[in-house]
Amino acid sequence: MPDLRTVLNAARSRLSDGYEADYLLAHALQRSGAWIMAHLDDPLEAALQHAFETAVQRRLEGTPVAYITGHRGFWTLDLEVSPATLIPRPDTETLVEAALERIPVGTPQRLADLGTGSGAIALALAIERPEAEVWAVDCSAEALEVARRNARRHGLDRVVFRQGDWLSPLQGSFDLIASNPPYIESSDPHLQRGDLRFEPAAALASGRDGLDAIRQLVAGSGRLLRPGGWLLLEHGWRQGPAVRSLLLSHGWSDAETLRDLEGRDRVTLGRRRT
């Protein structure tokens, strides 16, 4: 029987990102990375080695690591993901931070996450603001199932899940609406490369200039926000000026673009006039 070290090193050299092999081995063995580091001299039994090799093979064929393991960390949460959901990205934590800065602690606010996917934004807001009423909307029933399981796993059963198109399922008036909508140009060649090929097209691309969904949200969100309420939108790093000018032409105030961890425009927000 080979030991873990031998099997791991062989996989590390086959995968372009070495850390991915560690991640896939941890998943195959259902152990932590720390456990593996402490047991590198242990023999690896055939069934587990087979499970690991199958995972490595899928990765070599392009499947994103998160779809192989079925998990991705976001904010403080470990989230289940599936090919029905976008894989949460660290960029989106910029949006969560900006939202939290605008949600006072200890007041019962109503918040919505549109196009919730795995539930990343909604659940991060719900865990940070226990007194808030959080609505999570997605048009995909399959994605909502994943999001509901994530809510249950983290004890966030009070999140309200609704299936439907963007703003249509919302009822009543909200203090803040957040969304990481699709925003890639439909002809962008990146959609045909890497992990993006495996993610739901409807969560990525949005018309010729990538702004179709954002235009809908900018035009429609105002009537669902209380005066002074906030709209926060994630977008591509070159879309900041376009999103700000959309907000201004629809009468929003306080239009401002924030940068992600890599220093690129990523989130634009606007406020419903009081």
Footprint of ligand GLN on this chain (CB under 6 A)?
89, 91, 180, 182-184, 196, 204, 234
Spatial distance between the Cα atoms of 63 and 199, rounded to a whole number of angstroms? 10
* Mode of pairing for the β-strands spanning 160-163 and 133-138: parallel
Residues 6+ apart with CB under 8 A from 246: 211, 214, 215, 218
CB of 189 to ligand GLN, least distance (A): 12
Q: Residue 234 Cβ, how far from ligand GLN at the closest point, in Å? A: 6
Q: Which residues are annotated as a binding site for substrate?
A: 180-183
Placement of tokens 């587990």 in the chain = 48
Element spanning 208, H or E: none
109 vs 239, beta carbon nearer ligand GLN: 239
Least distance CB 129 / ligand GLN (angstroms)? 23
What tokens were used for 117? Answer: 């996917």
Minimum Å gap between C-beta 54 and ligand GLN is 26
To 5 degrees, how large is the angle CA 85–CA 96–CA 266? Answer: 80
- Measured from the CB atom, the residue of 182 and 229 that comes closer to ligand GLN is 182
Q: How far is the CB of 184 from ligand GLN (least distance, A)?
A: 5
Beta carbon nearer to ligand GLN, 3 or 91: 91
Could you tell me the two tokens for 204?
């990525």
Enumerate the β-bridge partners of residue 135: 112, 160
User: Which residues are part of a known binding site for S-adenosyl-L-methionine?
Assistant: 115-119, 138, 166, 180
Residue 150 vs 206, nearer CB to ligand GLN: 206
* 120-to-123, 127, 162, 235 alpha-carbon distances in Å: 6, 11, 15, 16
Nearer to ligand GLN, 155 or 263 (CB): 263
Q: Are 151 and 86 in contact (CB under 8 A)?
A: no
CA dihedral 119, 200, 92, 266 (to 10 degrees): -150
- Binding-site entries: 115-119, 138, 166, 180-183
CB of 90 to ligand GLN, least distance (A): 10
Pick the closer one to ligand GLN by CB: 75 or 183.
183
* Distance of alpha carbon 101 from alpha carbon 97, whole angstroms: 6
141 close to 89: Cβ distance less than 8 angstroms: no
- Asked if 67 and 87 count as a contact pair (C-beta separation under 8 A), the reply is yes
By beta-carbon proximity to ligand GLN, the closer residue of 180 and 268 is: 180
* Minimum CB distance to ligand GLN, residue 72 (Å): 13
